[in-house]
Structure formats: C-alpha cells, structure tokens
Chain A
Amino acid sequence: GENVEQHPSTLSVQEGDSAVIKCTYSDSASNYFPWYKQELGKGPQLIIDIRSNVGEKKDQRIAVTLNKTAKHFSLHITETQPEDSAVYFCAASDNAGNMLTFGGGTRLMVKP
C-alpha cells in the first residue's frame, strides 16, 4: 500500500517569512495529492491539491509542487501570517482505490 512521509514535524517561522513542507510517497500509481490545514479543535480542511498531470499549482500565497519522478511534493506558503499557524497534512491517493493516505502532519507556528 501507499506510504506517505512528511517533514518537518514542526516548523517555526517569523511572520512574513516563507514556509516549506515536504512529503514523499511510495506508490507510483498515486496521482492525486491534496494538502489539508487543521486548526486547533477542528477537522482538517482542504487548502490546495494537485494532480499528476501538472507540476505546480498556485493559489495566492500557497503553492504546491510535484515531482513524480522523485515521488515527492511540497507545500509552499509565502508571506506567512499568524493565522497560518496550524497543523498541515499532505496526502496521496490513486483513482483505483479512492482512499487517501495521509502524512504524519506538520505543526506550523508563525511568530508575530
């Protein structure tokens, strides 16, 4: 089955700096890679996703890049703000099973 590794487990940045979270996956059949943000006491919510037919996707201050050859994908947050502080999860799945495998999460802290 799929195995998704996520690094780092915690990340502390100064407000205004960039944050990068990286994930690797094991199943070359995976073709869908979403990122979720979980605020304290709430369920995770999708913030951005990418499919294997593109290498990069951007939505305002967040972007995701995908390297299918190396089987890794990354979340980039620019101009971080205190409200970006949360736990972020990457995930991967393929069309066959439609079941997401999650990374272990990254706790991002943005210091004002």
Chain B
Amino acid sequence: SQTIHQWPATLVQPVGSPLSLECTVEGTSNPNLYWYRQAAGRGLQLLFYSVGIGQISSEVPQNLSASRPQDRQFILSSKKLLLSDSGFYLCAWEGQANTEAFFGQGTRLTVV
C-alpha cells in the first residue's frame, strides 16, 4: 500500500534561519507531488508541484523553493525564513492514473 511521510511534525525557527522540510512517498512510482501551505483558519494554498524528478512548478512567488532529487522525495526549502512563512505545510501526492490526492500529516512551522 502507498504511504506518505512528512517530517518534522512541528518546527520552531528564528527569522533568517534556513528551512528544509522533507516528504517521501512509498508504494508508488512517478507520483505527482505537491506542497501546500495553510495559514491558521484558512484554505490550502498550492506552493509547488512536481510531475517528475527535477521538474518543479511554482504557483506563487515567495521566499521558498522546492526540489525533487528522487522520484519519491520532495523537499521544501528556504535560505532565510520570514515571519510570514509561519503556517501549516502539507505534502501530497497523486498517482499518474488516479486523481485522488493523499496528504501527509503536515508540519507546523512557527517562525519567531
């Protein structure tokens, strides 16, 4: 069966520090991968999506970047965090032939 792992679950980082959130998927190959951000009480904002290794599309200009070094690994990064980067970050995947999306458990990032 397919599973998605996202870590860490919570993170508190000072302004100006770097960020690296990792997401891995098991049990499938060549998935579409997504990073979403969710501000408190708000909807899902799509940040990045990837249809293959090294292929990253950005939906909104921001302080963040994403990379896909391996087929089932998706990384969200920042060189210098801003206070506005605080939020709940969710990784998700879709199979190529299946439109259902599966979400990780999320990372709550607090920038202080």
Contacts and interface: CB of A to CB of B under 8 A. Distances in A.
Interface of A: 32, 34, 36, 41-46, 49, 89, 91, 93, 95, 98-100, 102-105, 107
A98 B99 contact: yes
Interface of B: 6, 32, 41-44, 46, 49, 90, 92, 94, 96, 99-106, 108
A41 B105 CA distance: 8
6 contacts: A32-B99, A41-B108, A44-B44, A46-B102, A89-B44, A99-B94
B32 to A, nearest CB: 6
A34 B44 contact: no
Contacts, number: 49
A29 to B, nearest CB: 13
B52 to A, nearest CB: 13
Contact of A43 (B32, B41, B94, B105): B105
B77 to A, nearest CB: 20
Contact of A105 (B43, B49, B103, B105): B43
B93 to A, nearest CB: 11
B42 to A, nearest CB: 7
Nearest to A44: B103
B106 A98 contact: no
A25 to B, nearest CB: 14
B32 A99 contact: yes
A109 B16 CA distance: 38
